[in-house]
Amino acid sequence: MLSVCCCDEKRREDGMAPCVVQDPLPASLTDSESTGDIPCFYLPPEVVDESLEKARSCTEEDATKLIVSVSKTPACSDLGLVIRQFSNRLVVAGVGPGLISNWNEKHPERAVTNNCQLIEVNGLRGVHGDELVQRIKRLDNLRLTFDVGCKSVSV
């Protein structure tokens, strides 16, 4: 399943990536629906709210980094993230059951939460969000770098 929203031209003019809805990552939507779990990867075709726009303008020196290492297993291969995609950043819009919620339970002081921005996957950064997604799909051992907020911007 892949669809594009009608606001794509305006989003491109504003420097944002097109809105896209994709199957969950890496399990299929039907698998997710049958278990009642939240899809682990969803890019909603919604207009970005003001706090996310501010977060996008966060400079490197203002950002607080969080590095999360997780490994997919036959028992659990879903990240459990609901994601909004911007050109070279993926912004967390929710955390459902999966590898990231397991990480959060073990590391509550370094939890991945809404508005965290996934900016790097296993050393790959500064590329279009689609490339980050493809790397997540391909690799079993993931080192994910998030911007968890800005010192100067409240998100």
- Provide Rg for the chain, Cα atoms: 15
Q: Is the pTM of this model over 0.75?
A: no
Number of domains in the chain: 1
The closest alpha carbon to 28, from 18, 19, 41, belongs to 41
Residue 61, domain extent:
47-150
pLDDT tens per residue across all 155 residues of the chain: 333 333 344 444 545 444 333 333 433 333 333 333 333 443 333 333 444 444 444 555 556 899 999 999 999 999 999 999 876 678 999 999 999 999 999 999 999 999 999 999 999 998 988 899 999 999 999 999 999 875 433 33
Domain with residue 127: its CATH number is: 2.30.42.10
- Residue 105: which region, alpha, beta or left (left: phi > 0; alpha: psi -120 to 50)? alpha
Q: One-letter amino acid identity for 4? A: V
Cα–Cα dist 83/97, whole Å: 14
Asked, for residue 22, whether it belongs to a domain, the answer is no
Asked, for residue 94, whether it belongs to a domain, the answer is yes
Asked, for residue 3, whether it belongs to a domain, the answer is no
Cα–Cα dist 14/52, whole Å: 14
Asked, for residue 115, whether it belongs to a domain, the answer is yes
Cα–Cα dist 147/152, whole Å: 13
